[in-house]
Chain A
Amino acid sequence: MMQRLGARAGANRRQGPGPGPGGTSRSDLSPRDAWLLRWRGHSLLLPRRSLLGLAWLLLGLMMVFIASLSIGSMPLAPQRVIAALFGSGDPLDIYLVRELRLGRLGAALASGAGFALSGCLLQTLTRNRLAMPDIIGINNGATAFAVASIVALPMSFAPPMLALVGAVTATALTFALAGGVGVRGYRFIIVGVGIGAVFGALTNLMLARTSIDAANAAFPWTVGSLNGSGAGAQTMLWIGLAVCLPLAMASTRGLSSLRFAEPVALGWGVRVARLRLFALALAVICAALAVAVAGPVGMIALIGPELARRLSSHRSVPVLNAALAGAILMALADLLGRTLLAPVEVPVGIVTALVGGPYLIWILLRGDSPRAL
């Protein structure tokens, strides 16, 4: 592990073309798998692997974008999709592409990015690849509130907004009860698991006591679905991503130090405690906003970052790639869910869990190097 100390340069790629902290010339240390850009005394080290991964992911994103807009109950040829996107062609096509499919695809991309970014940050924080927003109460809190708004409260409250309130409530409760983040956020996570279990029990209680109609109406909120996502929640999520993603990218250097023992990070001049709180806050915000759009979709936060790590330099925390991978996976899962059992739609949360489940079990059983982040 220690010989990776020189790797910190790899985390600098997002610092922009300015002298990075402690930015004396380190070109002699630059690893072979990176490109070094020099411009008027500024230098930028670009890890080749991460950039290639980024290119692959962007390509994948494009393909998923076209596929999601074309495939469905009414298949459209890609050229008709593009025409409809720009507002020409059959009004029905325009409606289908722009309002039904594009809105839904936007929700998928944004929420997938939010979940995966959140998972990436949590996993770095805890040095554990199993850490996910799904299990620390955020999802369950959101579900409980959204279900309550459907089965218990008057209809005037919009479920997405209440989901957001629930996610925040669960996090605040967890934070208060855990009395802080604790080393590696462990305490926060376990208390979160407990809070999540309480909210889960309350959700089950509401579902068991309500009429089957209301239980049906609440169903999308218990598994995660993109079918009825509200436009307001989606706008908020996009704004949240626009703020959180750059912030996370700007702090990758500090984040990558979290993967080593605390003295190492301190030795780098990283204010570890503050950084942990910051990363946790970003993770929670992303997950809460995403859950308000898509409901409690699981496993994206596990697979997205995992895929990103495979496509990125080992030396940095791949926040951007994780967000992209999450977005692609979510859109793919939704596409699968829409087409597999048509005309019945399988909610996206079920697809991700079924695809992610075996993968999770594989990680559990393989069991090697749990901390190899």
Chain B
Amino acid sequence: MSAATGSVRFTRGLGFSLLALGVALCASLALGAGDVTPLQVLRWALGDDDGNVGFVVTELRLPRSCVGIVVGAALGVAGNLLQTVTRNPLAEPDLLGVSAASTTAVVIAILLGASVTTLQVWVAVLGAMCGCALVLAAARLRGVGDDPIRLILAGAALKGVLTALVSLVLLVDQRSADEIRFWTIGALAGRGYGELLGVAAPLLLGVLLVAYLSRPLAALALGERVASGLGHRPRLTRWLTLLAVALLSGVAVALAGPIAFFGLVVPVLARALVGPDIRRTLPLCVLLGPAVLLAADVVARLLVRPSELPLGVVTAVIGAPVLVAVVRAHRLPRL
């Protein structure tokens, strides 16, 4: 494919993603589990002021959508980074146990009495870092290309252990049990600007890292020698990538809890749109992540009105077919 058609494709992909995000955002503002209908929202937007509609849109749906945008972008980018650095199409924060490590850290923090949101964010980031370090140390960073399944097995096994650890916490301290029960599955309900403010610092750090990393990572995709020849340091790049993944998934967990398969779905979509180059897929993930997440959240709100489904259930159900498709699409020698 020539560079020219590549850039046309990128522009098209970008346009499509923007459109998708716009539609998802509108849906997220217009639809909900409550009685406020899209028509009422439209009338309110046109200036027909009704206190209740205005309240629902600006105080409930808008903050929640903002949190959804941040979570979606963070998880989409984290998935993309992980897949690039491990060269494994299945690498994803949730499958590899990174989210589980983060959740476990938060649960233990709750147990120890931390209820300040800002503290929880750093605990979540710390937990994600441990998870990242463990799983990727297991995969040895170097030799990962040759055995993609090892990474998945390591992640799944780690997840199992961490789940049991949470169960033990619940057994020992039943007073926390009731609260933690709801932490083990991701959701956006009830999150707002306060939580966003709490994660601002790690989020900013993660964004800066990602901005710096896109070029070295693209070089690394060409092979270590090429990357070294271009003046990049592969080892440093990998560790910084891991740091970025930990920051972003920690932020996502602190905001919404563990959200299954999300980091898998979004990069697959992005690659389908613009090809494998990470310099192109990254911006797309930033747009597509929120679009998919908001869409899933709207589904979660509408399916069981007047209550809501947790978001993590919806993404797991969406993500599993994508996982199957990825596994089946790859040539057998690799999988």
When C-beta atoms are compared, the residue in chain A nearest to B138 turns out to be A364
Residues of B within 8 A of A350 (CB): 164, 167-168, 171
Residues of B within 8 A of A357 (CB): 161, 164-165
Residues of B within 8 A of A212 (CB): 178
Complex CA gap A72/B249 in Å reads: 44
- Contacts A201-B312, A204-B310, A204-B312 given; indicate if A194 touches B157 (C-beta within 8 A): no
- Contacts A177-B324, A197-B261, A354-B165 given; indicate if A208 touches B178 (C-beta within 8 A): no
Residues of B within 8 A of A128 (CB): 147, 149-150, 153
Cβ < 8 Å to A, chain B residues 132-169: 134-135, 137-138, 140, 147, 149-150, 152-154, 156-161, 163-165, 167-168
A349 is an interface residue with CB less than 8 A from chain B: yes
- Contacts A177-B324, A204-B310, A354-B168 given; indicate if A135 touches B319 (C-beta within 8 A): no
B95 is an interface residue with CB less than 8 A from chain A: yes
- Contacts A178-B327, A201-B312 given; indicate if A193 touches B134 (C-beta within 8 A): no
| CB atoms of B147 and A370 under 8 A apart | yes
When C-beta atoms are compared, the residue in chain A nearest to B324 turns out to be A177
B237 is an interface residue with CB less than 8 A from chain A: no
Q: Which of A190, A200, A208, A346 contacts B152 (CB 8 A)?
A: A190
Complex CA gap A212/B156 in Å reads: 28
Complex CA gap A215/B335 in Å reads: 38
Residues of B within 8 A of A346 (CB): 168, 171
Q: Which of B90, B134, B184, B324 contacts A361 (CB 8 A)?
A: B134
B185 is an interface residue with CB less than 8 A from chain A: yes
Residues of B within 8 A of A189 (CB): 149, 152-153
Complex CA gap A302/B184 in Å reads: 25
| CB atoms of A222 and B167 under 8 A apart | yes
Give 1 or 0 for each of B302-316: 1 = CB within 8 Å of chain A CB: 000001011011001
The smallest beta-carbon distance between B107 and chain A, in angstroms, is 13
| CB atoms of A201 and B185 under 8 A apart | yes
Using a Cβ–Cβ cut-off of 8 Å, how many residues does chain B contribute to the interface with A?
Answer: 49
Residues of A within 8 A of B319 (CB): 194, 197
B260 is an interface residue with CB less than 8 A from chain A: yes
Cβ < 8 Å to B, chain A residues 153-200: 177-179, 182-184, 186-187, 189-191, 193-198, 200
When C-beta atoms are compared, the residue in chain A nearest to B261 turns out to be A197
Residues of B within 8 A of A130 (CB): 150, 153-154, 157
Q: Which of B94, B168, B312, B332 contacts A183 (CB 8 A)?
A: B332
- Contacts A135-B153, A186-B335, A208-B182 given; indicate if A365 touches B164 (C-beta within 8 A): no
- Contacts A128-B153, A190-B149 given; indicate if A135 touches B320 (C-beta within 8 A): no
Cβ < 8 Å to A, chain B residues 266-306: none
| CB atoms of B328 and A187 under 8 A apart | yes
| CB atoms of A190 and B316 under 8 A apart | no
Complex CA gap A344/B179 in Å reads: 22
- Contacts A198-B320, A204-B185, A204-B312 given; indicate if A191 touches B164 (C-beta within 8 A): no
Residues of A within 8 A of B178 (CB): 212
- Contacts A131-B153, A365-B134 given; indicate if A353 touches B161 (C-beta within 8 A): yes
Residues of A within 8 A of B167 (CB): 222-223, 347, 349-350, 353
Most chain B beta-carbon neighbours within 10 Å: one of A132, A207, A208: A208
Compute the total of residue contacts between A and B using a CB distance below 8 Å: 151
| Interface secondary structure of A, over-half rule | helix
- Contacts A194-B320, A346-B168, A350-B171 given; indicate if A187 touches B161 (C-beta within 8 A): no
A202 is an interface residue with CB less than 8 A from chain B: yes
Residues of B within 8 A of A318 (CB): none
| Interface secondary structure of B, over-half rule | helix
Complex CA gap A272/B14 in Å reads: 47
Complex CA gap A212/B135 in Å reads: 34
B317 is an interface residue with CB less than 8 A from chain A: yes
| CB atoms of B138 and A367 under 8 A apart | yes
Q: Which of A197, A209, A344, A370 contacts B320 (CB 8 A)?
A: A197
| CB atoms of B160 and A179 under 8 A apart | no
- Contacts A187-B327, A191-B327 given; indicate if A198 touches B317 (C-beta within 8 A): yes
| CB atoms of B138 and A365 under 8 A apart | yes
B233 is an interface residue with CB less than 8 A from chain A: no
Residues of B within 8 A of A367 (CB): 137-138, 140
- Contacts A223-B164, A354-B165 given; indicate if A190 touches B150 (C-beta within 8 A): no
Complex CA gap A128/B152 in Å reads: 11
Complex CA gap A223/B168 in Å reads: 9
| CB atoms of B135 and A205 under 8 A apart | no
- Contacts A190-B90, A208-B185 given; indicate if A360 touches B158 (C-beta within 8 A): yes
Residues of B within 8 A of A347 (CB): 167, 171
The smallest beta-carbon distance between A127 and chain B, in angstroms, is 9
Q: Which of A190, A299, A370 contacts B335 (CB 8 A)?
A: A190
| CB atoms of A205 and B161 under 8 A apart | no
The smallest beta-carbon distance between B305 and chain A, in angstroms, is 14
Complex CA gap A189/B153 in Å reads: 9
Complex CA gap A177/B322 in Å reads: 11
Most chain B beta-carbon neighbours within 10 Å: one of A132, A202, A204, A205: A204
Residues of A within 8 A of B332 (CB): 182-183, 187
Residues of A within 8 A of B150 (CB): 128, 130, 370
Interface residues of B, Cβ cutoff 8 Å to A: 90, 94-95, 134-135, 137-138, 140, 147, 149-150, 152-154, 156-161, 163-165, 167-168, 171, 178, 181-182, 184-185, 260-261, 307, 309-310, 312-313, 316-317, 319-320, 323-324, 327-328, 332-333, 335
Q: Give 21 CB contacts A-B under 8 Å.
A: A128-B147, A128-B150, A132-B157, A178-B328, A184-B149, A186-B149, A187-B335, A189-B149, A193-B95, A194-B323, A195-B320, A196-B156, A197-B95, A198-B317, A208-B181, A215-B181, A346-B171, A350-B171, A360-B157, A360-B161, A364-B137
Q: Given known contacts A132-B157, A353-B163, A354-B168, what 13 new A-B pairs fall within 8 Å (CB)?
A: A128-B147, A128-B150, A134-B160, A178-B324, A178-B327, A189-B152, A194-B261, A204-B310, A298-B161, A298-B164, A349-B164, A350-B167, A353-B167
- Top 5 nearest A-B pairs (CB, nearest first) are A353-B164, A364-B138, A201-B316, A357-B161, A135-B156
